[in-house]
Amino acid sequence: MQQRGQFSSRLGFILAAAGSAVGLGNIWGFPTQTASNGGAAFLLIYLALIFVLAYPVLCAELLIGRHGQSNPVASMQLICSHRSTRKAATLVGLAGMITVSGILSFYAIVAGWMIAFMGEPLALMVGAEQPANWMTSFGVGRNLLFTAIFMLFTIWVVNAGVKEGIEKWSRRLMPALLVLLLLLIGYLLTQEGAADGLKAYLVPDWSHLSPELLLKAMGQSFFSLSLGVGTMMIYGSYLSRDENLPKLAAQVTLVDTGVAVLAGMLIMPAMYVALHNGVEIFDANGALISSGDLVFQVLPALFDTMGSAGLIAATVFFLLMSIAALTSSISMLEVPVAYVAERFALPRAKAGYLVGGAIMAFSVLVIFNFGFLFGKVISITTEYAQPLIGLMFAVFTGWVWKRNRLLNELRQSNPEIEQGLFWKIWPTYVKFICPLLIGAVVLQSLM
Measured from the CB atom, the residue of 68 and 219 that comes closer to ligand PHE is 219
Q: Judged by CB under 6 A, does residue 103 bind ligand PHE?
A: yes
Measured from the CB atom, the residue of 73 and 132 that comes closer to ligand PHE is 73
What whole-number distance in Å separates Cα of residue 334 and Cα of residue 161? 9
Residue 345 C-beta: closest distance to ligand PHE, Å: 25
Q: Contact at 8 Å (CB) between 177 and 313? A: no
For residue 84, how many other CB atoms are within 10 A of its CB? 8
Residue 235 C-beta: closest distance to ligand PHE, Å: 10
Q: Judged by CB under 6 A, does residue 331 bind ligand PHE?
A: yes
The interface region with ligand PHE, picked from 180-188, 273-281, 327-335, 394-402 by CB under 6 A, is 327-335
Q: Contact at 8 Å (CB) between 262 and 181? A: yes
Measured from the CB atom, the residue of 96 and 310 that comes closer to ligand PHE is 96
Residue type, 156: W
Measured from the CB atom, the residue of 117 and 422 that comes closer to ligand PHE is 117
Q: Judged by CB under 6 A, does residue 231 bind ligand PHE?
A: yes
For residue 369, how many other CB atoms are within 10 A of its CB? 11
Residue 198 C-beta: closest distance to ligand PHE, Å: 23
Measured from the CB atom, the residue of 26 and 75 that comes closer to ligand PHE is 26
Q: Using the rule CB under 6 A, which residue among 32, 101, 327, 328 binds ligand PHE?
A: 328
Residue 446 C-beta: closest distance to ligand PHE, Å: 23
Measured from the CB atom, the residue of 232 and 301 that comes closer to ligand PHE is 232
What whole-number distance in Å separates Cα of residue 348 and Cα of residue 351? 5
The interface region with ligand PHE, picked from 4-12, 153-161, 182-190, 223-231 by CB under 6 A, is 223-231
Exposed/middle/buried for 384, CB within 10 Å: 0-12, 13-18, 19+? middle
Measured from the CB atom, the residue of 71 and 331 that comes closer to ligand PHE is 331
Residue 256 C-beta: closest distance to ligand PHE, Å: 7
Q: How many residues bind ligand PHE (CB under 6 A)?
A: 16
Q: Using the rule CB under 6 A, which residue among 55, 106, 169, 223 binds ligand PHE?
A: 223
What whole-number distance in Å separates Cα of residue 96 and Cα of residue 50? 20
Binding mask 12-51 for ligand PHE (x = CB under 6 A): --------xx-xxxx-------------------------
The interface region with ligand PHE, picked from 219-227, 265-273, 313-321, 354-362 by CB under 6 A, is 219-227
Q: Judged by CB under 6 A, does residue 229 bind ligand PHE?
A: yes
Residue nearest ligand PHE by beta-carbon distance: 25
The footprint of ligand PHE (CB under 6 A) covers: 20-21, 23-26, 100, 103, 223-224, 226, 229, 231, 328, 331-332
